[in-house]
Chains A and B, each alone.
Chain A
Amino acid sequence: MGMTLTEKILAGRADRDRVRPMETLSVRVDQTYADDLGGPITFQILEEHGVRRIFDPDRFFVSAMVNAPSKSIEVANTIGKMREFCERMGVERFYEGGNAGIHNCLAVEEGLVLPGELLAGGNSHACTGGGVGAFATGMGSTDIAAILITGRTWLRVPETIRYIYKGELPRWVTGKDLILFTIGKFGVDGAQGKAMEFAGEAIARLPMEERFALPNMAVEAGAANGIIEPDEKTLEYVRPRARRPFTPVYGDPDADYAALHELDVSGLEPVVAMPHLPSNTKFLSEVGGVAVDQVYIGSCTNGWMTDMRAAAEILKGRKVAKRVRLIVIPSTTQIYRQCLREGIAEIILDAGGIFSPPTCGPCIGAHMGVLADGMRSVSTSNRNFVGRQGSAKAEIYLVNPSVAAATAVLGRLGSPDEL
């Protein structure tokens, strides 16, 4: 019996010929990172234990991205300490201000997570890296501290569930809709502790950036990681970015999967995750005209160039509805610059929207669009938990960027076809 892609990567990083699901392994980590929430805890742990050197400063990067640019004196002090820590430890890649970005996206964009590699990032959406065919998983501050000391971590080999998407996606249906549909069907613990492997012709046809939404939200199904086998499109994306040599890894044809789910996507519509769980899904046409107060297009799920273009296509020459606060946030500085070059920033501003530099801000209720009591947010991000974007008395609906942009114009949840 062969091994799945996930098992093969883990076997390689454990220096073993083969591994089996449920085994606990010590594995080498290729890349890790921290942000301004978890990072300060990690650094305090290292300082408390007198750790003066980290395993490899080139395999670690830090991004001030959640409460940044500093929203308060306390945050400013924290970020200052993070910068000092990085200088002391020889960590060159410190992203703040003019090169800021959401680290789950930076890891991919900067070629710091590569096919066949093992990424353990200090953020639950580190699983985004699975979009290039890496084993990518999120961890807390103590685990990241241990990785910085040893270059290794422990993992239980997850069983793999393979999701095969067949058919051709209808207009306005994106990678985001595929993952919302999947979580809606199988639940927020439908892949608890498992690897979600996304495959099939519909995945093969997706542009790279749309693919990332699937592994990004694997954690919303309880998965350890989400992964897509690298194809030519993946390698074309990765090759010019890669910061080090890499060897793509592929699963064996006779690999043993915990389950295989075939999903025909030809008849799919855009999907909406209703409050307050990502699994609480409906098709857009079933939702009805829910009036909204804020529309947020961004986050590590949908702040890619593809998403910015999709939003701009809808917003061009149109105006955001009167009561709606539209906030558009590219995930990284490179994307931000590209939006300026392509006139997308201007389209958004002309429409009456806000165009912000990169930050996680509103996704996590940190700053830049925190919700008041009773506010309704339509968001391209990944979580609609109670209190996620501010008040516990607010509501969050998750959608794709085209639907979000159309909703901003309509003033209520709706389809681009209605414009």
Chain B
Amino acid sequence: MANVLTGRAWVLGEHIDTDVIIPAKYLITFDPHRLAPYCFEGLDPSLASKIQPGDIIVAGHNFGCGSSREHAPIAIKALGVSCVIARSFGQIFYRNAFNRGLPLLESDYPAGSIRTGSRLRVDLDGGRVENEATGEVFEAMPIPAFMQELLASGGLIPYVLQQMARN
């Protein structure tokens, strides 16, 4: 995984919940390619078709609140989204995303400073988000050490199996 990502922003709102990210009617499958077209359907059914690989989701508080369905990060990742930046995350979603290798950054970016279409440069290790057009730089919480270990191991299961082999 590249530690510096660049991509186009999609600015979404507050409390984007897992039912909006992927409604339960699609959960009869967990095939990423079948889920992706319906991602964010509850917000805007055409959004999934507009999001391009490498794009970055930017949201408000509590992104991913609600269900434990891992289909939510699976669908977001399947769209090619490289990371999600939000003011805060629902905590089950937070775990699921890292377990699936989708990085998340918590940042208290100023309202209005990032717009849909803004090109962002995101330094995951340093916890920095830069709006390339305006040159503004926003601090983000560095990804916790444990989450970095998970990402480096390739996710939770390889991490757990490596730990068991070591012990």
Query: Which A residues have a C-beta under 8 Å from some C-beta of B?
Result: 24, 37-38, 40-41, 44-45, 49, 66-67, 72, 74-75, 78, 122-124, 126, 138-143, 145-146, 149-150, 154, 188-189, 192-193, 219, 222, 224, 277, 364-366, 370, 383, 385-388, 390, 392
Contacts and interface: CB of A to CB of B under 8 A. Distances in A.
12 contacts: A74-B28, A139-B92, A140-B69, A140-B95, A142-B99, A189-B15, A189-B62, A277-B15, A364-B67, A386-B20, A388-B24, A390-B25
Given A146-B160, A192-B91, A392-B23, 17 more contacts: A37-B24, A38-B69, A41-B71, A44-B30, A45-B157, A66-B24, A124-B67, A126-B68, A140-B92, A143-B95, A154-B146, A222-B91, A277-B15, A365-B19, A387-B42, A388-B19, A392-B42
A342 B142 CA distance: 58
Interface string B96-111: 1001100000000000
B4 interface: no
Nearest to B87: A189
A142 B30 contact: no
A43 to B, nearest CB: 11
Nearest to A158: B91
A38 B99 CA distance: 14
Contact of A192 (B27, B69, B88): B88
Contacts of A45: 157
B3 interface: no
A388 B65 CA distance: 13
Given A37-B24, A37-B69, A192 B62 contact: yes
Interface in B72-119: 88, 90-92, 95-96, 99-100
Contact of B99 (A124, A140, A219): A140
A141 B20 contact: no
B157 A49 contact: yes
Contact of A142 (B15, B23, B24, B100): B100
Contacts of A122: 68
Given A142-B100, A386-B20, A41 B30 contact: yes
B7 interface: no
A342 B160 CA distance: 50
Interface residues of B, number: 39
Interface string B21-47: 001110111100000000001110000
Nearest to A72: B28
A140 B161 CA distance: 18
Contacts of B156: 142-143, 145-146
Nearest to B94: A193
Contacts of B19: 365, 383, 385-388
B65 A140 contact: no
Contacts of B23: 365, 387-388, 392
Given A74-B28, A140-B70, A392 B95 contact: no
A138 B62 contact: no
B30 A124 contact: no
A122 B71 CA distance: 13
Given A189-B62, A222-B65, A385 B17 contact: yes
A41 B92 contact: no
B164 interface: yes
Nearest to A363: B24
A149 B157 CA distance: 9
Contacts of A40: 30
Contacts of B42: 385-387, 392
B66 interface: yes
A395 to B, nearest CB: 13
Contact of A139 (B15, B17, B68): B68
A188 B62 contact: yes
Nearest to A74: B28
Contacts of A143: 95-96, 99, 156
Nearest to A124: B68
Contacts of A364: 24, 67
Among the interface residues A72, A150, A192, A387, which one has the most CB atoms of the partner chain B within 10 A? A387
Contacts of B144: 24
A49 B68 contact: no
B128 interface: no
B27 A142 contact: no
A7 to B, nearest CB: 17
A385 B69 contact: no
A143 B73 CA distance: 14
Contacts of A390: 25
Contact of A149 (B43, B62, B90, B160): B160
A78 B19 CA distance: 21
A150 B164 contact: yes
Contacts of B27: 37, 66-67, 366
Interface in B140-167: 144, 146, 155-157, 160-161, 164
A391 B25 CA distance: 10
A44 B20 CA distance: 25
Contacts of B91: 192-193, 222, 224
Nearest to B61: A189
